[in-house]
Amino acid sequence: METFAPPRRLADNPHFESDRKNVLEKFALDEIDAPIRSVVDGFSRLPYCFTLQSCYGHFVYSEARAPDNLEPLPPNYLGAIIYRIAYMALCIQNSSAGNQLLSALAGLPSINPDLIQFGSPRWFWDRHVNSFALQVEPSRFAGQDQATIDYAEALQVQKVRDEFYTKLGGLVKSLHN
């Protein structure tokens, strides 16, 4: 699956309200990775966007074989690690508030430009105009939904992923004030 494409400009979308309603009717907070539920829930309560998909980011290795492992990396692991990317995909309304959100989201890669990408993956855009995604993954794997990395790099990715979701959560909180 294509996971990255450069960001597009917001376009007119006369179906935004009905798309948002349809997505939110199917929204099940308990199906979201526990560490990011409050962030996803916060986006769902903003009238100018809705979450399409999300993933906390999972590290899969010999002791943690479950593909949806939420545990932090163990100390001093020696083997290869499969990293399943952390991402948040949103559909944003073409409005003043939507443009402000888009601008704030576009600034999040500054946390670590080598590990955070912001764009408009075609797979999402084809289903919902004005779809944008932020993903945390080494830039050399930007077009893939998982990557095999070594332990040292996995530790760096984990640190950036955690900082990314902390800042994203802060952004959502600030938009509700």
Confidence of residue 171 (pLDDT cuts 50, 70, 90): very high
Q: Mean pLDDT across the stretch 10-38?
A: 96
- Report if pTM > 0.85: yes
> Minimal CA–CA distance to 115: which of 89, 86, 91, 88?
86
Give the whole-angstrom CA distance, residue 13 versus residue 57: 30
Give the whole-angstrom CA distance, residue 15 versus residue 8: 18
CATH fold for the domain made of 16-175: SSo0622-like fold (3.30.1960)
Confidence of residue 2 (pLDDT cuts 50, 70, 90): low
Q: Where are the domains of the chain?
A: 16-175
The answer on pLDDT for 62 being more than 90 is no
The answer on pLDDT for 1 being more than 70 is no
> Minimal CA–CA distance to 138: which of 125, 124, 151, 149?
149
